[in-house]
Amino acid sequence: MKLELPELPFAKDSLAPHMSSETLDFHHGKHHNAYVIKGNELLEDAGIDADNLEDLVKKCAEKGGPLFNNVGQHYNHSFFWNSISPNGGGAPGGDIAAAIDASFGSFDSFKTEFVNNGVGQFGSGWVWLVADGDSLKVVKSANAETPLTDGLKPLLVCDVWEHAYYLDFQNRRPDFLASFIDNLANWDFANQNLAG
């Protein structure tokens, strides 16, 4: 299986001022693309057969090392691009809204937990909304790690590597995370994942 850099599912300038086109030039065009290129180099000699990206990530996790780091980062970034939308943010509708209320008590409680987990991720990583059986929870992961390899179902993710926000928010990770929830979170995508 060959990795391919996905097209962004939105115009590069459509997320401003919450995420600038300059950030996306670096984040998508350089950082994500580098994982695709290196991942493909490493996959050439890995001898791994996979039917889809999720299966490939799980198989690469068993091998670990640079192979998993690059394939895992490709998966995480591809998921992230779909987790943001120029029409996103704010309180969700649909089944995800009811599931958030049932699992966290309220959307505000969820937002607080999501932001706190993202802030609490030391160094580089990710903060995820996942389904764990019939309930939802917020988890964080370091570097290329993903809850996919822990048997959890990813619904939404925010990248908290510095390259995701530094040009727009400098060192203000809490502000970036709040802006993600308030202005960018793609609840339609989360609803699709919850249903799928």
- Please check whether residues 65 and 158 belong to one and the same domain: no
Give me the domain span that covers residue 76.
21-83
Task: Kindly give the confidence (pLDDT) of every residue in the chain, 196 residues in length, as a single tens digit, with 9 standing for 90 and above.
Answer: 899 999 999 999 999 999 999 999 999 999 999 999 999 999 999 999 999 999 999 999 999 999 999 999 999 999 999 999 999 999 999 999 999 999 999 999 999 999 999 999 999 999 999 999 999 999 999 999 999 999 999 999 999 999 889 988 999 999 999 999 999 999 999 999 999 8
Question: pTM for the whole thing?
Answer: 0.96
CATH of the domain at 175: 3.55.40.20
Evaluate whether residue 181 is within a structural domain.
yes
Evaluate whether residue 25 is within a structural domain.
yes
- Please check whether residues 148 and 191 belong to one and the same domain: yes
**Long-range Cβ pairs for the range 116-125 (8 Å, 24+):** 118/158, 118/160, 118/173, 118/174, 118/177, 119/173, 119/174, 119/177, 121/160, 124/160, 124/161, 124/162, 125/160, 125/161
- Please check whether residues 103 and 50 belong to one and the same domain: no
> What tokens appear for 4 in the block?
């391919």
Evaluate whether residue 136 is within a structural domain.
yes
- Please check whether residues 100 and 59 belong to one and the same domain: no
- Please check whether residues 147 and 62 belong to one and the same domain: no
